[in-house]
Structure 1
Amino acid sequence: MKITEFMKNKKGASGIGTLIVFIAMVLVAAVAASVLINTSGFLQQKASTTGKESTEQVASGLQVVGVTGKKSALGNQDIELLAIYVTPSAGSSAIDLTQTKLFLEYNGYSCSLNYSSKLNLTAGNANVFGNVGNADNTSFMIASLQDADDSVSDSAVINKGDTVAFLVNASAAFATTQIPERKVISGKIIPEFGAPGIISFTTPASYTDTIIELQ
């Protein structure tokens, strides 16, 4: 065999090896690109979901706009029933009230109340205390005061423009007969997500009316 033929054969062998390496590099690059594309797509979706949930958590919540109490017709006629008026915070998403928790503190005693049922008002707001006595020491009821789309009436979901009264049988919740004058009541309504509604008031020095504005 001549030297020139031998050198030509060596160049051919070297070219095949280079081609194999090149193809392998292309395959590795393609696999790596596919992994990166899939990973970036997953991360983008995850970031979008997290951002939406974070915005919902920050912007949503409940706002307590007032609290009234009703005196008992028996005994020393102190406050027996509470109505806590609640609306969604500005920009809030719809909130399922069946998943809310109501915490109250009074006279060294705290209670945690869960959703019990809806109270159907038949004659406007005057009957907001109508059946609150059915609530016990573990539950609260709700009454829809403003509900244009019937979301509260149908499924106990509060959304923009709605106003709801959380109704509490204070005598049962606090394991006491009634709430007398000059007592501090505090608490919060904690929704499934978002900011809680804050409750804080002191009962007046005297009860002159049957229905008393407390907060």
Structure 2
Amino acid sequence: MFEELSIKEDRGQVGIGTLIIFIALVLVAAVAAGVLVQTSGLLQSQAESTGEDAQSEVGNQISVVGATGTVSSSSVSQVDLVVKKSAGSDPIDLSDATIEYTSAGASQTLVYDSGNANGNNFATTEISGGSATVLTNTGDRVEITIDTDAAELEGGNGIAEGEEVQLRIVDQSGATTIYGVNVPDSLGDRSYVTV
């Protein structure tokens, strides 16, 4: 009889130990689940933010409608780009944009200046839409002026006949538009050329 009692007592003690271990495991699992839920929420918000940024970089595009070069002593001394925003783009503020000017003899990063264009700055002029810097609607047009005489480091003689320049326009969202300026092989006696 005593043996049976001791066996029952042993079983009771084993049962309490197992219950304590079970409760500890449940508590550890609950804490781990809480950490996983918090981490997944943080990752989801970061993914949404990254997605929005990527969408604005792809969606916000500047379209070059036309480009004209001002001829001065057998080279193009100034380039004027007429730009608009692409359909579906958010408003684009050109005062926050940069233009990376790359040619055979120069590499400059131009920033906006409300005054005149020079070797470090580009200027804008309103054509239609009510603002000289912000493209709100697809019908808005702004002219960007780049002084290529000042931007060219070697000699400051603008872009010579037959040369090419790459303009990389980066707006405030990081979206990039690349435009290649190609000067005709012969400028002749013209004052303006399409580039």
Query: Does TM, scored on the shorter chain, surpass 0.5?
Result: yes
Higher relative contact order (CA 8 A, sep 6+): 1
Matched AA of 1:167: T
CA distance in 2, matches of 1:204, 1:159: 37
Tell me whether 1:146 sits opposite 2:105 in the alignment.
no
Query: 50-59 vs 23-32, which deviates more?
Result: 50-59
Partner residue in 2 for 1:55: 55
Following TM superposition, by how much is the alpha carbon of 1:24 offset from its aligned partner in structure 2, in angstroms? 0.8
SS at 1:103's partner residue? strand
Q: Which digits, 9 at most, give the CA deviation of each residue in 1:102-138, with x for residues without a partner?
A: 3142xx322414224236xxxxxxxxxxxxxx43222
CA distance in 2, matches of 1:91, 1:144: 21
Tell me whether 1:109 sits opposite 2:105 in the alignment.
yes
Following TM superposition, by how much is the alpha carbon of 1:172 offset from its aligned partner in structure 2, in angstroms? 2.2
Following TM superposition, by how much is the alpha carbon of 1:13 offset from its aligned partner in structure 2, in angstroms? 1.0
SS at 1:172's partner residue? helix
CA distance in 2, matches of 1:19, 1:178: 85
Structure 1: which 5+ runs fail to align? 120-133
Percent identity between the aligned chains? 30
CA distance in 2, matches of 1:191, 1:204: 29
Q: Which structure 2 residues correspond to residues 78-97 of structure 1 after superposition, within 5 A?
A: 79-97=76-94
Q: Which digits, 9 at most, give the CA deviation of each residue in 1:149-173, with x for residues without a partner?
A: x4xx4xx343442322111223222
SS at 2:113's partner residue? strand
Matched AA of 1:199: G
Length-normalised TM-score, structure 1: 0.73
Partner residue in 2 for 1:173: 151
User: 1:62·1:189 contact (CA, 8 Å) conserved in 2?
Assistant: no
Structure 2: which 5+ runs fail to align? none
Provide the aligned C-alpha RMSD in A. Answer: 2.7
Following TM superposition, by how much is the alpha carbon of 1:71 offset from its aligned partner in structure 2, in angstroms? 4.2
CA distance in 1, matches of 2:26, 2:159: 80
Length-normalised TM-score, structure 2: 0.79
Tell me whether 1:12 sits opposite 2:8 in the alignment.
no
Matched AA of 2:70: K
Matched AA of 2:26: V
SS at 1:109's partner residue? coil
Query: 17-26 vs 49-58, which deviates more?
Result: 49-58
